[in-house]
Structure 1
């Protein structure tokens, strides 16, 4: 729970500091804000967007609670393509995982948006730890990542893993696990986490890599086993599960955030007001509880923090995706 407290306390500090920021002297609250989200309603990210949006009303950013508009499809690209064309007054923002900003430029030869030129970072809201889980197709004696790799070598016909989408961060975590350990792991892409988790539980698929919150109910029920999580520290939701790094796979340490962005040329005062509203929302008890249910960790910070992280992840993943050899056309 220390990790979560750290993030929430950081958000509280930022929010308190924001009270002295000068944006209130230069910008009036917007009447209505719309949040665009590029993945299905009911998903963990959608819940994050809605709970944060519910707390934006009555702030220096917006008079009313934000409305969330789902524009699912194309791995989140449709939502960002829509945002690119939106007004630059802060009335339309989007929430996205970092993959859409930092991985896609390495995957798509023709991306309809420039993550850095077309948008301005507003701030992060939550953090995802991904997980590797196995189901009944894999013997109960497999309890660690090394055990799974040994089993995969001995059972190449069944040595596969699912992910919520081709080109997603979980896809690449699984690919690197196989490549870096000379084990052939067949990738099975799904349309979201739920169908893949269902196949793991049903014994049709050996393993899955996806946000670990999607595993937790079945893990606690004994229907599958989470072997590792991708955070720098153990997940506060399954503290009994060691990280990849603890098991000797530090290269698979990945903490993916959900962050808000606005169209380029959105006034700095509006961005500051939106950032303060986000940071205040994620220290609200009801928001924290809603995020916890879906395995998300509140994670605040400044707009500059998000922009810096986005650039850092872009630089990190370029050579890794080249090593994997994946493109949208492959």
Structure 2
């Protein structure tokens, strides 16, 4: 038979446990600072900034009470990565970035202000393909990628393509296309897609390589022709456009944006940010907003994204020397 002291102790224990339950949410939320910055290596107004601001809206309240976008443009996102590297590993500073600073730059730059292991991948939040287009400098009879390769082989002095920047992934993919086809495609670097696409449509450069979304606002003009899209399948934003692989060139690379945090960030914070990011990515209005830029909402968690980044890095470790580009060239 239970005596009075045992009964009282059990009762107090039950009441104490019940009283403690409301504390758990407060204890969990206290691990993340009240104000969290999403650092972006590009100026306001671009696609990366757009994704960051949509994410900030979705993560507000789910991950932290206040979410801010901190634009740190310059040096091909190196400034932004360096800022996150130096930040406290408390979940208060998050990087939104494409993979190139970690998968490409180690093979194109002699020295970087960071090492890839200085940050930890947390979540992929979207993906989108690259595409190749030609303009009026190329005859109207050129309608496919094999057509363009044949024309470039017959007109080597005119066989040039542009990209938004030297050393960018679109640049490297265009050069890799030339290597695969056995033709010399001269690269013309631009400072962003704006001037590059103007030159393409004005006939100053024959072809252009960039992300599919950059072409979409220009398609109605009729002054450019899309020839190929990257990826393992056709894009829902241009379903009539065949892939590189369909036309004989194994370029299935796609671009993505991911969230990263400083190394040594506690796993509990990484998991909480990944969970909040997943909840954001599956919301219909998030996907609708990205569609304006030719992007698809897609989530990968920390382990899956780490594996994806490793695969991208392994690819470029082989292909960059094949292309022969360095940031000093």
Does TM, normalized by the shorter one, top 0.5? yes
2:59 maps to what in 1? 56
The SS at the match of 1:120 is strand
CA deviation string 1:281-302 (max 9, x = no partner): 1222222111100111111011
2:239 maps to what in 1? 239
1:101 maps to what in 2? 102
1:322 maps to what in 2? 321
The answer to whether the 8 Å contact 2:160/2:206 transfers is yes
Divergent runs of 4+, >2 A:
22-30
Q: CA deviation at 1:166?
A: 1.0
The SS at the match of 1:33 is strand
Q: CA deviation at 1:26?
A: 4.5
CA deviation string 1:227-258 (max 9, x = no partner): 000111101100010000111111x1101211
Rounded Cα–Cα distance in structure 2 between residues aligned with 1:294 and 1:286: 14
Report which structure shows greater RCO (CA 8 Å, sep ≥6): 1
Q: CA deviation at 1:27?
A: 4.8
Normalised TM-score (structure 1) = 0.89
2:300 maps to what in 1? 301
2:266 maps to what in 1? 267
The SS at the match of 1:88 is coil
The SS at the match of 1:129 is strand
The answer to whether the 8 Å contact 2:91/2:265 transfers is yes
CA deviation string 1:116-160 (max 9, x = no partner): 2x1111111111200001111111111111000111112222210
CA deviation string 1:51-109 (max 9, x = no partner): 111111111x2123x21111111111110011111111111111110111111111112
The answer to whether the 8 Å contact 2:135/2:203 transfers is yes
Rounded Cα–Cα distance in structure 1 between residues aligned with 2:55 and 2:98: 15
Pick closer, same or farther for the CA change 1:50–1:154 going to 2, 3 Å: same
The answer to whether the 8 Å contact 2:29/2:64 transfers is no
The answer to whether the 8 Å contact 1:23/1:269 transfers is no
Where in structure 2 are the equivalents of 1:167-206 lying within 5 Å? 167-206=167-206
Q: CA deviation at 1:23?
A: 9.8
1:129 aligns with 2:129: yes
Q: CA deviation at 1:221?
A: 3.4
Q: Higher Cα Rg: structure 1 or 2?
A: 2
The SS at the match of 1:238 is coil
- How many residue pairs match? The answer is 305
The SS at the match of 2:299 is coil
The SS at the match of 2:236 is coil
CA deviation string 1:10-34 (max 9, x = no partner): xxxxxxxxxxxx9997453531110
1:115 maps to what in 2? 116
2:8 maps to what in 1? none
The SS at the match of 2:58 is coil
CA deviation string 1:282-324 (max 9, x = no partner): 2222221111001111110111111111111111111100011
The answer to whether the 8 Å contact 1:23/1:270 transfers is no
1:79 maps to what in 2? 80
The SS at the match of 1:142 is coil
Normalised TM-score (structure 2) = 0.89
Q: CA deviation at 1:212?
A: 0.8
1:160 maps to what in 2? 160
The answer to whether the 8 Å contact 2:145/2:227 transfers is yes
The answer to whether the 8 Å contact 2:44/2:71 transfers is yes
